[in-house]
Amino acid sequence: MGDFNIRPIRDNRDRAKMYAHAINDIHAFESLLEQGRFESGAPKIGLEQELCVVDSQLEPAKAALDILDDLQLREYTNELALFNLEINGDPLDLKGDCFSQAERSLLELLKAGTSKAKARDLQLLLCGILPTLQYRHLAFSYMTPIQRYQVLSKMLADIRGDHFEIYLQGVDELIMSLESVLFEACNTSFQLHLQIAPNDFVRKYNWSQMIAGPVLAACTNSPLLFGRELWSETRIALFKQSLDTRSSRNHLRKKLPRVYFGHDWLRHSPAELWKNELMRFPLLLTSDDFQDATQVLQEGKTPNLRAIRLHNGTTYTWNRLCYGPQGTKPHLRIECRYLPSGPTVADEIANFAFWVGLMEGQKEDHHNFWEKTDFRIAKDNFIRAARTGLASVIDWFDGPISAQDLILNELIPMAKSGLEKTGVDSKDIEHYLGIIDQRIRKQQTGSIWQVEAFRELTKESSRPLALKTMSQQMIDYQLKNTPVGEWDIPGQKEAAPVKKVNLHPSTLVEDIMSTDIFIVHEEDSVQFVDQMMQWKNIHHVPVEDRQGNLIGMITDGLITRMTQNLANQQVLAKNIMITDVITADAKDSLEEAGIVLQEHQLSCLPIVYNGKLVGILTEKDLSSIELPLSTYT
């Protein structure tokens, strides 16, 4: 849930005090380990569920705090963005029907949230990245107004010294910049916790790193961002870049991003993880009420180690060491942070059981695997799985193997063995591992379904409408709790009819405009302009100057009247273009744009933003979404 009683570091003296507290916490942590004061009995499991809040148009809704006020449930809390919520599940003993219990509890909590959301004409969606997110939803007004988030964003931006930039390349490409850390708000995850005995921590932490690649390959659910097809699990790259404080300066130095997989295997003690993060990453936050951990320890009490945990909360490993000071004895956990939210609760609990089963089912001949295995193999597997999901080839102990074969033939049996060893009911084991098995055999993870659904829907719909229709289908399946391996791909013969979502006239122009635009420059020949319009069967072409400013339009009517001069290479676009260009802004509503088209009897409307051409809106675009111009009269 995070530590909210914080402030920025003011000066060097303040920073030195924070370092002193953090170092003292690490020394106390090592003393606890040496004295054997940690819980080492039967392990517990826990979960954190992040989710998206959407309005009646399936777009992000700034309503999280309102829903929290309505709910008044301790399990619910806020997140970085006002369109996100988080649910914290109660810890459960790892035995019996613990996974069924976790599913029932989470479904009940989601039911309560869904009910309050519905009363406000809102819906809740489980997905690694909300498909209908647009760049405008990352404005400061969408950040939850809590000091921790605002301070953290400012401190990271100050260290970076520039806007945060993302560059992602998949089927499509995406290049954007933002002055805050709100790119991170695009990500919603399903975080898993497993209690670990101190004597087993080094072995199990290294194992959690080794299995991360194939586990992720089986569970991807965020292939789309801003309507672009990117990585199978785009969250991995997006989260890393959204908080990256590195710059191109000192590019020859090796410097880790604050979001990272790891640097090497853990060798001796879990304390190495905190030491590494204190040495590698600048302090960002502090507080005024830290304990003296050494003194607390001498009094025979359990220190909260708040200073080092606060710093740990500003660095982000995909498998994280967690320290729990609650109860008569403190405990250690590994938090698995790389799995996405969704596609359904049933899928998520299946992912949970699969991961826990693998953690507990590690073969004895793999116990010290890290002594002979290059750490870069595990890291490479993880990045590969994030990029290509179930289509990945995994570098495993016996050599390269497809993710599908590895999961079906080795990992699912290993997970079953691990769950049986911990006393999980056979009914739970068969049910949840069966969901994984079905998903892998059908080759339909959440990401695969989203990509195929998106491609089918865009054959007949605009991208924004396809994304909204797809999102509504996802919500409908989630409400039924149908595992993704059973979802229909829209457009397939056996698929049920798709319930399409209609756009509202108040929808913004940028959500429907065409952005793949052919333009000409003022010094291009009219002969070239005519040929291009014929090749592409288009009736109007914007004209730009060399600075990218829209300065005119050429229509096929103008070209027709210039037929006798087309062979004259001296006739340029600037000689015949219409210079009094009527435009609309990308932030205008479809209703406003429709009125402009009708009043001026235009068939096409150039769309600008900050003076630059960003798209084209046509009568055809409006008619394709069932918003005829008569709507605006």
Percent of the chain whose pLDDT exceeds 90:
65
**Cα–Cα distance for residue pair 297/412, rounded to 1 Å:** 43
Query: How far apart are the C-alpha atoms of 335 and 322, rounded to whole Å?
Result: 7
* Chain center to CA of 615: 27
Q: CA end-to-end span of the chain, whole Å?
A: 51
User: Where would I find the H helices in 198-344?
Assistant: 201-219, 234-242, 271-280, 293-298, 306-312
Residue 358 has pLDDT above 80, yes or no: yes
* Angle between helix 201-219 and 375-388 (nearest 10): 20
- pLDDT of residue 75 exceeding 50, the answer is yes
DSSP H helical ranges for 258-409:
271-280, 293-298, 306-312, 345-360, 375-388, 403-406
Higher pLDDT residue, 160 or 152?
Answer: 152
Angstrom distance (rounded) from CA 235 to CA 36: 38
CA-CA distance, 121 to 62, in Å (whole number)? 13
Q: Which of 11-25, 251-265, 507-521 has the lowest mean pLDDT?
A: 251-265
What pLDDT score was predicted for residue 2? 52
Enumerate residues 6+ apart whose C-beta is below 8 A from 443: 390, 404
Which residues in 140-180 belong to E strands, given as ranges?
164-169, 173-178
User: Rounded to the nearest 5°, which phi and psi values hold at 456?
Assistant: -65, -45
- pLDDT of 562 strictly over 80: no
Per the listing, tokens 């369109």 go with: 83
Strand partners, 606: 616
Better-scored residue on pLDDT, 343 or 139 = 343
List of residues 6+ apart from 216 with CB closer than 8 A = 233, 236, 338, 339, 382, 385, 386, 389
- Domains for the chain: give ranges and CATH numbers: 7-442 (3.30.590.20), 509-632 (3.10.580.10)
Integer Cα distance of 579 and 590 in angstroms: 24
For the segment 576-592, the average pLDDT, to the nearest whole number, is: 89
Pairing relation of β-strands 76-78 and 84-88?
antiparallel
Inter-CA distances, 5 with 58, 147, 148, 149, 155, Å: 34, 9, 8, 11, 16
Distance (Å, whole) CA 531 – CA 523 = 15
Who wins on pLDDT, 589 or 48?
48
pLDDT tens per residue across span 83-112: 999 999 999 999 999 999 999 999 999 999
Cα gap 489→119, rounded to integer Å: 30
pLDDT of residue 155 exceeding 80, the answer is: no
* Averaged pLDDT of the chain: 90
Residue 222 exposure: Cα atoms within 13 Å on the Cβ side = 29
- 252 falls in which pLDDT band (50, 70, 90)? very low
Give alpha helix (H) positions in 2-142: 12-34, 64-71, 98-119
- What's the Cα-to-Cα distance from 306 to each of 147, 191, 269, rounded to whole Å? 18, 21, 19
Q: Is 301 helix (H, G, I), strand (E, B) or coil?
A: coil
Question: Angle, nearest 10°, between helix axes 234-242 and 375-388?
Answer: 110
* pLDDT, tens only, 477-495: 999 999 999 999 987 766 6
- Indicate if the pLDDT at residue 5 is higher than 80: no
CA atoms of 365 and 257, how far apart (whole Å): 33
Specify whether the CB–CB gap between 340 and 233 falls below 8 A: yes
